[in-house]
A and B are shown apart, each in its own frame.
Chain A
Amino acid sequence: MKFRIRHANQAGQPEDHSTHLVFESDNLRIGRHPENDIHTDNPHAADFHGVIQVARDSGLATLEALAHSGILVNGKSRKIATLKPQDIVSVGHFHLRILTPDAEHDFEAEVITPEEAQAHLLTLDQGNRLIRWIKAKLHQLHVRPVAWFAVLLTLLVLFLIPLISVYVPSLNHFLKNGSPLMRAMSATSWSVGPVSRYHIRIADDCEKCHSDGAFTNVPDKACNACHEDIRHHFNIDDIKVTGNPMPMCGDCHQEHIADNFLVLGDRVEQCLQCHADIKKIAPQSELQSIPADFSGEESLLAEKHPEFVAAMVSNHEEDHPIVTRVRMDDKEHLKEHSGLRGFSHKDHLNKDGILAPDGKGGAEIMKLECWSCHKPDDQRVGMKPLTFEDHCQRCHKLTFDGLAPTTELPHGKADKIFTFLKEFYARSPKGSRIDPPAPPDKNDRELPGRMISQGSLDFDQPEVTLDGYAREMTQRVFEKGVCSECHEPLKPSNDVSEWRIVKPKFTEKWYPAAKFEHKAHDLYACTGCHKVESSETPEDVNIPAQASCTECHDAGDSTCLKCHTFHKDPQFNMKGTRFAPKAEAIKPWHGNRSGGEPDGVITPTPKQP
């Protein structure tokens, strides 16, 4: 076997064959000992470090390490390795590069410098080179590039990606459906807080509300675009305001605070901007001004809140009720003219009880409570309306003639009474006489059903006719008996058949613009607020006044909006556009009707009486 070892050429120098070593032996030994073929004085080399052999048949060179620590081939320790051209064999600082042997030699290699070996090793394996490069860079890493990287990464994650996802919906969709970290990079990640549930459908569409661009408030027009029917605060036909006192929507409504939060609850100062001197802002307003020092401090509400003003129905001749505003402390005018008479809460709530139906003569006593007549409505906000048939007729029967003690006049049909009586007596037996009603028994109760006729007709008498008798009885039931027990009769100017009663009209909403719920006050007894134990006439107004409410509610825990409604005008929306006529807006407000106006809004009247 012929082994040739040569020294690497210097760059630009011709090959110097005199430096070549040629061995003819079975193998080539490398080590520190002088007996080796390649003898190196490198202190790291073992005496006999390794041996290279070449197979005769295949010509493959094999390296076997004699040192137990192995021998480095291409930088890796090997016990045995098959050598190929360009492999690097290293013993300490001694490096051999394997070459392709020429025809004369079986093995050829060249001695190279450590620098060459290092450079050569780097070119051997790209993967390893990259890893080595990364490792080297990591080892040399300084704070500054890492800091720059952090800055750029922050800009990317918190600024660029959210910005891009605004314009790339697919990216936004992908991010929105990902982990919390991904959601924090979506288009809405700049949102300062959760969108309230009321706007959740447009939560992803920022421009819907923020329509005026950057660094500006949400304009009212953005709100009005959807909420076009939101009611104005006041009727701009009736009340001309000076200046521009209306706050922007955003002054009271704030988004991105909480899931269930949209209205800034207590902004007394906001309300006081106008209501501290309402005449200055709206000279035509009849509202009372609120003291400018009205604030949320405890107990001040009772002292400084103006007395409540009731909205009472005050006319009864027309279908369209006239509403009069009366302060609750104005006792002289605080009387309800409902058209009813004779009713006494005091008598009905007598602690000893009252005569039960059919209990004439004190035979049977029953005790009434408030809830015997007044039942809460389905929402337990107000009370169901009372009706004669359901609440009165059981005791107060409309009987009118002893000859027919079970026959009652029709209720609520004054124009039919004459006809009813005429038909009734037409069917009556002859020979009856008309007797005046008996004087009331002291044990008898005053009921509408007192018999005003105890006789029978006698049409043989020339002065008695069916028509005349019916007319007489009609006059009696309206003027002296059944109807007039509870109602104000309206005497006709001409024919007796035109007897009528004053149509009863009750005030259903005493404080139409106020919010009140009975269910929130379930804990308290009715008479705690409604002082009805001493009420003897239907004129009494038993609605609580300011003093009653402020016993519990002070400004500390009760905000303006706790009781007051802001968007309450039925005529105009916030843009100042008049609403199209709607059924509920033009419907006459009759007392004793169920429902009433939504939101407690009263139908405005063109003129005050």
Chain B
Amino acid sequence: MNRSFIRQDQFLYLKIALGLCCISIFLYVVDDPVGPPSGNSWLGYTLGTVGTLIIVWLVWFGVRKRQYTGTRYSLTRWLSAHVYMGTALLVIGTLHCGFQFDDNIHTMAYILMVLTILSGMIGVYYYLTVPGLISANIKNSNAQQLHETIDQIDRKALEIARQIDSHVHEMMAYTIHTTLKERRHPSKKVLMDMLRVGETIKEASKACYCSLTKEESIAPSDTPVSDLKQKDPSDPHMRLSAIIIDLSFNRSPGEKLQQLLDLINEKATCIHKLHLDRVYNRRLKIWLMFHVPLSLATLIALVIHIVSVFYY
């Protein structure tokens, strides 16, 4: 991910935000209002005004983001200032209210503001990490291409499976059916099932290879071939393993089986990538689902807060 918005202009906006915080804290410390510190003092009104302007400006970032024409300040600059000024708002807003909290809409507005800022901090973390993960995951590809690749693998796998054995074909059709659902509605469990099928086939394949070449089994000692047969026969994975083992003893697995295993592994990799891609993208989408509505809710709460303060 491009980290330039953090270091934008040699941390210019970080310095501005820190300066603002320091000034606010200094004034808060030296101010001796009549009564306890609150928004109802000259400092309270000052900090409230500054905070209001910052909130309006922060929300305006949503508008600026959608202006694709060039402006004087780049979007990265805006984002940098957005992040740092938003964080400073946490200090300014808290000092504005003088740590006075109660069961009222003002505290609700404050809570909304804090939630927005905290969600913004999570957003900064996401935007620093997630895009890099997405790139590393699917590289130059994209989700649509992965889907197409999986479709091709499915077609090939079914064809090969049918050529091997009707049971293998049946098994393959089943896994395709489940992964079809998985590709529409992500479910980690289904993905893990899919991967387990691949692993089961791999292990069975190794056992098969060993039995064919009369070599000692290199399969993990805790999953001997004989055990596989003794497990629940209704378990599709076990049945598949059993089929492959039967095939091994019949000396007819051949090249097709290896191709099928390769395809399953390839598909599992693709689905895993697809799953991660979906998780990463969903992470950003869910974050946006919180941050933007919270920002607007904060703006509305701010308006109600100001109106109610001056109403009475």
Interface-forming stretch among B102-110, B136-144, B252-260?
B102-110
Q: In the complex, how many angstroms separate the beta carbon of B162 from the nearest chain A beta carbon?
A: 7
Q: B290's closest neighbor in chain A, by CB?
A: A146
Of A33, A139, A193, which one neighbours B100 at CB under 8 angstroms? A193
Rounded to whole angstroms, the CA-CA distance of A45 and B162 in the bound complex is 10
Contact yes or no, B34 A264, CB < 8 A: yes
Rounded to whole angstroms, the CA-CA distance of A185 and B296 in the bound complex is 19
> Is B239 part of the binding interface, using a Cβ–Cβ cutoff of 8 Å?
yes
Interface-forming stretch among A254-262, A279-287, A546-554, A591-599?
A254-262
Residues of B within 8 A of A153 (CB): 297
Rounded to whole angstroms, the CA-CA distance of A264 and B38 in the bound complex is 14
Interface-forming stretch among B11-19, B208-216, B304-312?
B304-312
> Is B155 part of the binding interface, using a Cβ–Cβ cutoff of 8 Å?
yes
Q: Which of B106, B155, B171, B293 has the most CB of A within 10 A?
A: B293
Contact yes or no, A46 B36, CB < 8 A: no
Q: In the complex, how many angstroms separate the beta carbon of A297 from the nearest chain B beta carbon?
A: 12
Contact yes or no, B155 A194, CB < 8 A: no
Of B35, B159, B169, which one neighbours A47 at CB under 8 angstroms? B169
Contact yes or no, A158 B293, CB < 8 A: no
Of B104, B173, B312, which one neighbours A46 at CB under 8 angstroms? B173
Residues of A within 8 A of B170 (CB): 46-47, 49, 67-69
Q: Which of A157-192 contact B (CB under 8 A)?
A: 157-159, 162, 180, 183-186, 188-192
Contact yes or no, B38 A193, CB < 8 A: yes
Residues of B within 8 A of A183 (CB): 103
Contact yes or no, B300 A151, CB < 8 A: yes
Given contacts A46-B166, A46-B170, A68-B174, contact A147 B104 (CB under 8 A): no
Rounded to whole angstroms, the CA-CA distance of A261 and B38 in the bound complex is 13
Given contacts A214-B311, A264-B35, contact A192 B40 (CB under 8 A): yes
Residues of B within 8 A of A146 (CB): 289, 292-293
Q: In the complex, how many angstroms separate the beta carbon of B237 from the nearest chain A beta carbon?
A: 11
Q: Which of B103, B112, B170 has the most CB of A within 10 A?
A: B103
Contact yes or no, A150 B104, CB < 8 A: no
Interface size on A, residues (CB 8 A): 54
Contact yes or no, A192 B308, CB < 8 A: yes
Given contacts A43-B155, A184-B104, A190-B104, contact A143 B311 (CB under 8 A): no
> Is A385 part of the binding interface, using a Cβ–Cβ cutoff of 8 Å?
no
Contact yes or no, A158 B36, CB < 8 A: no
Contact yes or no, B38 A147, CB < 8 A: no
Q: B62's closest neighbor in chain A, by CB?
A: A147
Residues of B within 8 A of A258 (CB): 35-36
> Is A206 part of the binding interface, using a Cβ–Cβ cutoff of 8 Å?
yes
- Digit string of A32-50 for contact with B (CB within 8 Å is 1, else 0)? 1100000000011111110
Given contacts A158-B109, A258-B35, contact A190 B311 (CB under 8 A): yes
Contact yes or no, B173 A67, CB < 8 A: yes
Q: In the complex, how many angstroms separate the beta carbon of B209 from the nearest chain A beta carbon?
A: 25
Contact yes or no, A47 B297, CB < 8 A: no
Given contacts A147-B296, A190-B308, A214-B311, contact A69 B173 (CB under 8 A): yes
Of B36, B177, B297, B309, which one neighbours A44 at CB under 8 angstroms? B177
Q: Which of A44, A92, A215 has the most CB of B within 10 A?
A: A44
Q: A256's closest neighbor in chain B, by CB?
A: B40
Given contacts A68-B236, A190-B311, contact A154 B112 (CB under 8 A): yes
Residues of B within 8 A of A154 (CB): 112, 296-297, 300-301, 304
Q: Which of B94-135 contact A (CB under 8 A)?
A: 100, 102-109, 112
Q: B174's closest neighbor in chain A, by CB?
A: A69
Q: A46's closest neighbor in chain B, by CB?
A: B170
Contact yes or no, A45 B311, CB < 8 A: no
> Is A198 part of the binding interface, using a Cβ–Cβ cutoff of 8 Å?
no
Rounded to whole angstroms, the CA-CA distance of A92 and B301 in the bound complex is 53
Given contacts A67-B170, A261-B35, A261-B36, contact A192 B176 (CB under 8 A): no
Q: A209's closest neighbor in chain B, by CB?
A: B312
Q: In the complex, how many angstroms separate the beta carbon of B61 from the nearest chain A beta carbon?
A: 14
Q: In the complex, how many angstroms separate the beta carbon of A83 from the nearest chain B beta carbon?
A: 21
Rounded to whole angstroms, the CA-CA distance of A180 and B101 in the bound complex is 11
- Digit string of B160-195 for contact with A (CB within 8 Å is 1, else 0)? 001000110111011011000000010000000000
Q: In the complex, how many angstroms separate the beta carbon of A71 from the nearest chain B beta carbon?
A: 11
> Is B39 part of the binding interface, using a Cβ–Cβ cutoff of 8 Å?
yes
Rounded to whole angstroms, the CA-CA distance of A311 and B107 in the bound complex is 52
Residues of A within 8 A of B185 (CB): 135, 139
> Is A210 part of the binding interface, using a Cβ–Cβ cutoff of 8 Å?
yes
Given contacts A68-B170, A143-B289, contact A43 B296 (CB under 8 A): no
Q: In the complex, how many angstroms separate the beta carbon of B100 from the nearest chain A beta carbon?
A: 6
- Digit string of B2-20 for contact with A (CB within 8 Å is 1, else 0)? 0000000000000000000
Contact yes or no, A191 B296, CB < 8 A: no
> Is B158 part of the binding interface, using a Cβ–Cβ cutoff of 8 Å?
yes
> Is A412 part of the binding interface, using a Cβ–Cβ cutoff of 8 Å?
no
Residues of B within 8 A of A206 (CB): 312
Of B38, B108, B174, B288, which one neighbours A67 at CB under 8 angstroms? B174
Q: B240's closest neighbor in chain A, by CB?
A: A68
> Is A533 part of the binding interface, using a Cβ–Cβ cutoff of 8 Å?
no
> Is A424 part of the binding interface, using a Cβ–Cβ cutoff of 8 Å?
no
Contact yes or no, B103 A184, CB < 8 A: yes
Q: A258's closest neighbor in chain B, by CB?
A: B36
Q: In the complex, how many angstroms separate the beta carbon of A76 from the nearest chain B beta carbon?
A: 12
- Digit string of A329-347 for contact with B (CB within 8 Å is 1, else 0)? 0000000000000000000
Given contacts A155-B300, A215-B310, contact A44 B176 (CB under 8 A): yes
> Is B79 part of the binding interface, using a Cβ–Cβ cutoff of 8 Å?
no
Rounded to whole angstroms, the CA-CA distance of A301 and B27 in the bound complex is 26
Contact yes or no, A189 B297, CB < 8 A: no
Rounded to whole angstroms, the CA-CA distance of A159 and B104 in the bound complex is 11
Given contacts A68-B239, A147-B296, contact A48 B108 (CB under 8 A): no
Contact yes or no, A92 B173, CB < 8 A: yes
23 contacts between A and B (CB under 8 A): A32-B162, A44-B176, A46-B170, A46-B173, A67-B173, A68-B234, A68-B239, A69-B171, A135-B185, A139-B185, A151-B293, A151-B300, A154-B304, A158-B301, A185-B105, A189-B105, A190-B311, A192-B309, A206-B312, A254-B34, A257-B35, A257-B38, A258-B36
9 new A-B contacts, CB < 8 A, other than A46-B173, A265-B34, are A44-B173, A49-B170, A67-B174, A69-B177, A139-B185, A150-B294, A150-B296, A183-B103, A210-B312
Q: What 8 pairs between A and B have smallest CB-CB spacing?
A: A150-B293, A69-B174, A47-B166, A183-B103, A46-B170, A190-B308, A154-B297, A43-B158
